[in-house]
Amino acid sequence: MADRFGAATAAATNRLLVQSHSRLAVADAALVRSQIAIAQIPAPTGGESERGAWIAQRFASLGLSDLDTDCAGNVIGRLQGKRPLPPVVVCAHLDTVFPNGTNLSVRRDGPRLLGPGINDNSRGLAVMLAIAEGCDGLALERSIDFVATTGEEGAGDLRGSKHYFASRGAAAHAAVIIDGAGDERIVHRALGSRRFRITFDGPGGHSWAAFGAPNAVHAAAAATTALTAIALPADPKTTLTVARIGGGLSVNSIPGQAWMEIDVRSSSASVLDALARRIVSAVRDATAAENGRRAADTPPLQAQIDTIGDRPCGSIAENHPLVQTAAHVTRLIGRSPELTLASTDANIPISLGIPAVAIGAGGRGGDTHTTSEWYDNTAGPIGAARALTIVATVALS
Amino acid sequence: MADRFGAATAAATNRLLVQSHSRLAVADAALVRSQIAIAQIPAPTGGESERGAWIAQRFASLGLSDLDTDCAGNVIGRLQGKRPLPPVVVCAHLDTVFPNGTNLSVRRDGPRLLGPGINDNSRGLAVMLAIAEGCDGLALERSIDFVATTGEEGAGDLRGSKHYFASRGAAAHAAVIIDGAGDERIVHRALGSRRFRITFDGPGGHSWAAFGAPNAVHAAAAATTALTAIALPADPKTTLTVARIGGGLSVNSIPGQAWMEIDVRSSSASVLDALARRIVSAVRDATAAENGRRAADTPPLQAQIDTIGDRPCGSIAENHPLVQTAAHVTRLIGRSPELTLASTDANIPISLGIPAVAIGAGGRGGDTHTTSEWYDNTAGPIGAARALTIVATVALS
Give B91→chain A minimum CA distance, Å: 24
Q: Check A222 against B218: CB less than 8 A apart.
A: no
Burial class of residue B49, CB neighbours in 10 A (0-12, 13-18, 19+): middle
Q: Check A248 against B253: CB less than 8 A apart.
A: no
Would you place residue B3 in the very low, low, confident or very high pLDDT band (cuts 50, 70, 90)?
very low
Would you place residue B2 in the very low, low, confident or very high pLDDT band (cuts 50, 70, 90)?
very low
Q: Which residues of B touch A215 (CB under 8 A)?
A: 228, 241-242
Query: Which value, to the nearest 10 degrees, does the dihedral of the CA atoms of residues B263, B265, B271, B273 take?
Result: 50
Burial class of residue A50, CB neighbours in 10 A (0-12, 13-18, 19+): exposed
**Alpha-carbon distance B28 to B253, whole Å?**
64
Would you place residue B9 in the very low, low, confident or very high pLDDT band (cuts 50, 70, 90)?
low
**Alpha-carbon distance B30 to B36, whole Å?**
10
More confident residue, B89 or A6: B89
Region class of B67: left (phi > 0), else alpha (psi between -120 and 50), else beta: beta
**Alpha-carbon distance B355 to B186, whole Å?**
13
Per-residue confidence (pLDDT) for residue B249, from 0 to 100: 85
User: Is the distance from CB of A74 to CB of A165 less than 8 angstroms?
Assistant: no
Question: Radius of gyration of chain A from Cα atoms?
Answer: 24
Region class of A204: left (phi > 0), else alpha (psi between -120 and 50), else beta: left
pLDDT for residue B1 is more than 70: no
User: Is the distance from CB of B128 to CB of B77 less than 8 angstroms?
Assistant: no
Measure CA of the first residue to CA of the last residue in chain B; give whole Å.
Answer: 9
Q: Which residue of B has its CA nearest to A209?
A: B239
Per-residue confidence (pLDDT) for residue B397, from 0 to 100: 83
Query: Which value, to the nearest 10 degrees, does the dihedral of the CA atoms of residues A347, A349, A352, A355 take?
Result: -110
Q: Check A225 against B222: CB less than 8 A apart.
A: yes
**Alpha-carbon distance A137 to A360, whole Å?**
24
Instruction: Choose among A9, A40, A321: nearest CA to A188.
Output: A321
Instruction: Choose among B395, B44, B140, B222: nearest CA to A223.
Output: B222
Option in A207, A222, A343 nearest B241 (CB): A207
Per residue of chain A (397 residues), what is the pLDDT tens digit?
334 445 556 888 999 999 999 999 999 999 999 999 999 999 999 999 999 999 999 999 999 999 999 999 999 999 999 999 999 999 999 999 999 999 999 999 999 999 999 999 999 999 999 999 999 989 999 999 999 999 999 889 999 999 999 999 999 999 999 999 999 999 999 999 999 999 999 999 888 888 999 999 999 999 999 999 999 999 999 999 999 999 998 888 899 999 999 999 999 999 999 999 999 999 999 999 999 999 999 999 999 999 999 999 999 999 999 999 999 999 999 999 999 999 999 999 999 999 999 999 999 999 888 888 999 999 999 999 999 999 999 999 8
Residues 6+ apart with CB under 8 A from A389: A13, A16, A17, A20, A329, A332
**Alpha-carbon distance B341 to B266, whole Å?**
10
On whether ipTM exceeds 0.85, the answer is no
Q: Which residue of B has its CA nearest to A224?
A: B221
pTM: 0.82
- The widest CA-to-CA distance across chain B, in whole angstroms, is 83
What stretches of chain A show up as alpha helix (H) in DSSP? 2-7, 10-26, 28-39, 49-61, 122-135, 159-166, 216-228, 269-293, 321-332, 347-351, 380-396
**Alpha-carbon distance B199 to B246, whole Å?**
10
**Alpha-carbon distance A208 to A377, whole Å?**
65
Q: Which residues of A touch B242 (CB under 8 A)?
A: 215, 217-218, 221, 248, 255
Per-residue confidence (pLDDT) for residue A209, from 0 to 100: 83
Three-state DSSP at A53 gives helix
Select the residue from A185, A224, A228, A241 to test the B interface by mutation, using most B Cβ atoms within 10 A.
Answer: A241
Q: Which residues of B touch A244 (CB under 8 A)?
A: 217, 247-251, 255
Per-residue confidence (pLDDT) for residue B165, from 0 to 100: 98
